[in-house]
Amino acid sequence: MTGAICISVLFHFNATISAQELTAQAVVDSIDRGREFLVKQQNEDGSWPTRGGSHVVGVSCLALMAIINSGMTAEDEPVQRGLKYLRSLRPPEPRGTYQTGLMIMALAAAKDGKRDHTLIQSLVLQLENSQVKTGPDAGGWGYGPGMAIGGGGSADRSNSQYAVLALRDAVHAGVPVSISTWKLIKQYWSTQQSADGGWGYQSKVGASRGSMTVAGIATMVIVNSMLGDELEINPDGTPNCCVNQDDDESIERAIRWMAEHFSVGSNPGVNSWLLYYLYGLERAGRLSGTRFFGKHDWYREGAAFLTERQSVRDGSWKGAGQESDPVLGTSFVLLFLSKGLAPVLINKLEYNSDAQANQKPDTLPNWNHHQNDILNLTDALSGRPDWPKLLTWQTVNLDLAIQGAGVSVLRQAPVLFISGQDHPEFDEKEVAHLKQYVEQGGFIFAVDNCNGAGFDRGFRELIKKMYPQGEVQLKRLTAEHPVFRCEYLLDAESVELYGVDVGCRTSIIYCPDDLACLWDKWMRFPSKDRSVKATSMITRAIRIGSNVIAYATGREPPNKLDQEELANKEGMQNQIERGFLQIAKIRHTGTWDAAPRALGNLLKALNQKAGMIASTKTPSLPASDPNLMQYPLIYMHGRSQFSLSKSEQANIRQALENGAVLFADACCGSQPFDQSFRQMIREMFPTRELKRIPIDHPLFSEQTGYDVRRVRRRQMEVDDVNQPLKAQTVVVEPLLEGIEIDGHLAVIYSKYDISCALEQQASVACAGYVPQDAVNLALNIVRYALLQDIAFKNKVQGIKVD
């Protein structure tokens, strides 16, 4: 009876989530219900109903965009019907700026090949022609009834932002927009920004509003990116990467206004159009790379506010006034929730430097020489085959991170980007945080700007400060490294990359060439006036950046709200105490510690789920150590060939015969380790063989912990050195092999990676289980071993367990 009570307490997994904690799954569930509501409301002709029957085209476009961004594609029947309706429209539809802009956005969002190219072109021409060309509102748009050819006239920020959004989407769909249109847009928004940094509805006189200020932030980011196509060209036809640039403070001023007036429960400055404002807030935050307005996490606060207010009855949302139309309200909310949840791929690090004190006013800071570099690299990867269709990025301030939540702020993205021209200055605390970020599974990608000798020297010094004992070094990566094949096939001789190997992979990569300048000039569809040489250089730089990011993330960046289950917890007890679970790691002649934090992370996950039953201090013992007998679970892994002596094998075998379980895996599916492990098992158990553990074994069921009978595993499709790496994630039965002694599994082995996934360090070239499934598999193995240990001890002592 005592044994039964121990098991019950020991293995109670606390699945309760506090009411205040917002999870990605809660948001996804809310999105699914909202999408289901919109699909049910769609009319037979593909349109959506509106209150009073007005603005049907505009609302139908918003609803179509909402269901596409929340998971549907052009192959789904509701999307097909919506597109058919839009394609059936004839003049005078769509009417005015709003509906014309929204129709462009909806057609572009569908990504239905080139089918709508001509239609989008004609709509773009209407927008360009209706832009106000003269007078104080030049560069803006008004309601535009009839879409009269532009000249003088009045404009407002609301119509203007939807025209800008539409023109951006048109460019991304391959439809050109004239440079003169973009220049007028910039003139309109920059000259009409209010003195307080915000924007009002019209002119500079009216009070600033939240909805118009977020519109201004998004517009200025877009227009600066579009005008980046105007290159400074050197005499040899190459882009001049380091021409002096002034810092456009309009965006920063607007972000400061939002920080001072932030709200998700009201539209700052005006008591209306809340849901419209929140959709604009999503665009401003996502496009500008802003996670926090002041101290406010705009997405987390907005998503929490909205999910609490979703209709329990039908999954819709309603606002006040015109937003009381549930189709309109639900469309705005779904666009906020779904687009805002996009994975954050890269954090761009804001830091201090030696040159900061002497920096001239209105010039770009050292960390941000190329303002659109990460914006464009992220945009280039969005929607590529095997990548999420929408990716985002953000800026993180290292000082504020240290003052706040520390490393967890850096871990909001799998990649941390550091660049500069001058010497970067990192103090001891900052160095420690960067090192901890890497050790917790993060990846640093650094690029030297403008051939800056100061940054090159400073970054190399940073590596030495992070690893002062010289345990790792920055080395030139050779052609065998998978980074040269992760997305595109690159020539390692001409692509100069340096790396630092930490744990399972190269966790820091540095490029001394100014890739960021060329990313800054990238456009999905560049101007025809761009030189062939410049285009070639920019394309090459995007490919190098894409390869590094693919290597770092495995093309599987987490959603914004996904919790880092394997993150360190402050104050976690690291002392072995009587009664605490202890697991030993075996030292061997190969790379026995290839994933040094895997076991500790696993034990932390066990503590989080089962309530502090394990010490996170993981002793490493030689295979000959007699103390192996004290441990119920013995762990080993590696990436290279190894061997054990006969006496070492005998010691492990004795531990297994005394009830212990050996848990092992080949890091990233390493064949040399796999071959050595199988040879070791043959020598230890000449009359037994490793056999696949059947899927109906309790090890894989909820009886032991989690139902892991179906798991996600990354496997290589193409592994030819002359071809880019091609991997896919498949849903399969787990492949674990084992050896039984006296009716229980004494050896549990995975030839596919588990350890590197536990470190959150599995790259695209790593054959193994995805992190969450690796955690669940490993937790089941630990629980199984403990159950066997209890059963073995009770058997020896003659105790019957009910």
What is the chain's length? 802
**Using CA atoms, how far apart are residues 737 and 551, in angstroms rounded to an integer?**
29
Predicted confidence (pLDDT) at residue 693 exceeds the cutoff of 70? yes
CB atoms within 10 A of CB 701: 15
**What's the token pair of residue 483?**
């980074």
**Using CA atoms, how far apart are residues 395 and 750, in angstroms rounded to an integer?**
39
CB 179 within 8 A of CB 229: yes
CATH topology of domain 345-553: Rossmann fold (3.40.50)
Give counts: helices (H), strands (E), the chain: 25, 19
Confidence of residue 792 (pLDDT cuts 50, 70, 90): low
At position 405, the amino acid (one-letter code) is: A
pLDDT of residue 737: 98
Per-residue three-class SS string for 660-677:
CEEEEEEHHHCHHHHHHH
- Position with higher pLDDT, 105 vs 411: 105
pLDDT of residue 558: 77
Secondary structure (3-state) at 103: helix
pLDDT tens digits, 550-567 = 999 888 887 776 633 333
Residues contacting 588, CB < 8 A, separation 6+: 623, 636, 638, 642, 643, 644
What does the CA dihedral 555, 420, 230, 170 come to, rounded to 10 degrees?
Answer: 30
Of 298-302, 359-363, 429-433, 564-568, the least confident? 564-568
CB 309 within 8 A of CB 317: yes
Q: How far is CA 505 from CA 412, 413, 664, in A?
A: 20, 17, 19
The β-bridge partners of 653 are none
Identify which of 546, 185, 182 has the alpha carbon closest to the alpha carbon of residue 376: 546
The β-bridge partners of 141 are 156
Identify which of 247, 243, 230, 228 has the alpha carbon closest to the alpha carbon of residue 520: 228
pLDDT tens digits, 514-529 = 999 999 989 887 777 7
CA 484 to chain centre: 22
Identify which of 424, 420, 417, 456 has the alpha carbon closest to the alpha carbon of residue 353: 424
DSSP 239: B
Q: How far is CA 30 from CA 66, 314, 316, 402, 672, in A?
A: 13, 11, 9, 33, 47
pLDDT of residue 230: 57
Q: What is the mean pLDDT of residues 104-115?
A: 93
Of 90-104, 243-257, 409-423, the least confident? 243-257
CB atoms within 10 A of CB 20: 6
**Using CA atoms, how far apart are residues 766 and 750, in angstroms rounded to an integer?**
14
| Residue entry with tokens 């058919």 | 84
**Using CA atoms, how far apart are residues 392 and 348, in angstroms rounded to an integer?**
11
pLDDT of residue 588: 93
Percentage of the chain beyond pLDDT 90 is: 66
pLDDT of residue 353: 62
Residues contacting 468, CB < 8 A, separation 6+: none
Confidence of residue 8 (pLDDT cuts 50, 70, 90): very low
Model confidence, pTM: 0.84
Q: What is the mean pLDDT of residues 607-611?
A: 70
CA 108 to chain centre: 23
**Using CA atoms, how far apart are residues 96 and 90, in angstroms rounded to an integer?**
14
Q: What is the mean pLDDT of residues 29-56?
A: 96
Mean pLDDT of the chain: 87
CATH number among 3.40.50.2000, 3.30.230.10, 3.40.50.720, 3.40.50.12140, domain 583-797 = 3.40.50.12140
pLDDT tens digits, 224-263 = 888 875 556 777 777 877 876 555 789 999 999 999 999 9
Confidence of residue 721 (pLDDT cuts 50, 70, 90): low
Of 8-22, 60-74, 614-628, the least confident? 8-22
CB atoms within 10 A of CB 563: 12
Q: Specify the pairing of strand 691-692 against strand 737-741.
A: antiparallel
pLDDT tens digits, 254-296 = 999 999 999 999 999 998 999 999 999 999 999 999 989 998 9
C-alpha R_g of the chain: 29
pLDDT of residue 1: 29
Of 125-134, 148-157, 423-432, the least confident? 148-157
CB atoms within 10 A of CB 764: 24
CB 68 within 8 A of CB 109: yes
| Residue entry with tokens 């004494």 | 746
Residues contacting 391, CB < 8 A, separation 6+: 342, 343, 344, 345, 378, 379, 381, 382, 557
Q: Specify the pairing of strand 583-587 against strand 633-638.
A: parallel
pLDDT of residue 750: 97
What does the CA dihedral 405, 408, 409, 411 come to, rounded to 10 degrees?
Answer: 170
Confidence of residue 428 (pLDDT cuts 50, 70, 90): very high
52 phi/psi in degrees, rounded to 5: 80, -5
DSSP 236: T
- Which residues of the chain form CATH 3.40.50.12140? 345-553, 583-797
